[in-house]
Amino acid sequence: MAKRHFSYNCVLIWREYCVGAPAIAFEVLSRWHCPFQIIQTIRVMDPRLETRGYFTGMVDSALDLIMTSDPVRFRRVRNEINNIVNARTPVVFSYGRPLKTCFINLRCFYSENNIKMAIGFLASTLVYVATWGYLFTRGILRTEKNGLHFEGFCRREAQRFLRRLGMPTGFWDADQQIVLQHGEFQKEAIKDIYGIFVQDPSIEAAIWQDSGAPYKGDNKN
């Protein structure tokens, strides 16, 4: 484990708690006001009723896939992710370390003819995020100096997981992924809130229904 010097704690507090204060507030509000389900000890939330069942079903299937195919990485997911939120982020996913919250833009995983592949890619994303959190736990922060190695390690973990499933790994090619880091995702929190109100969730729900996405909840029409 990397030794946690005083400078490490200073950078961590500034980056994740000071700069990240808006997103922490957003996460706390989500926990207070958004309905949720507990799946494998993880709180799964979607502020939109229309898509909530499909998001919960997809996450449930992804977690079950990790649990049955890769118990070691599944333990890491449970340790490093406390909340999974469906949010209209400008990227595929983001991770808030203070509350161990993973924001997922579920629409990025849509697959018209292969919902199993969509679930597999979602599962690999949770593996990636959990690896990111694992490095934090080990006392390793992403910096400009180690950024490529840091992200490369996370990508390789996601790729190894997909190989276990016999799935293609191109989703995790370096030029395909953009992840907000160094606390930058917190600056997008207001955009997440804005997106909740401007999109039409009923259209998105109909698309997921047509794709055969798993549903978990009580309000399916």
pTM, to two decimals? 0.82
**CA-CA-CA-CA torsion for 101, 158, 48, 183, nearest 10 degrees?**
40
pLDDT at residue number 220: 65
Residue 178 in tokens? 């953009």
Per-block mean pLDDT, blocks of 10 residues, the chain (221 long):
62 66 71 86 93 96 98 97 86 86 90 90 97 91 84 94 93 62 47 54 89 84 57
Q: What is the CA radius of gyration of the chain?
A: 17
Domains and CATH numbers, the chain: 6-211 (1.10.390)
The β-bridge partners of 103 are 85, 94
Integer Cα distance of 144 and 189 in angstroms = 23
The β-bridge partners of 45 are 36, 85
* Eight-state DSSP code of residue 93: E
pLDDT at residue number 180: 46
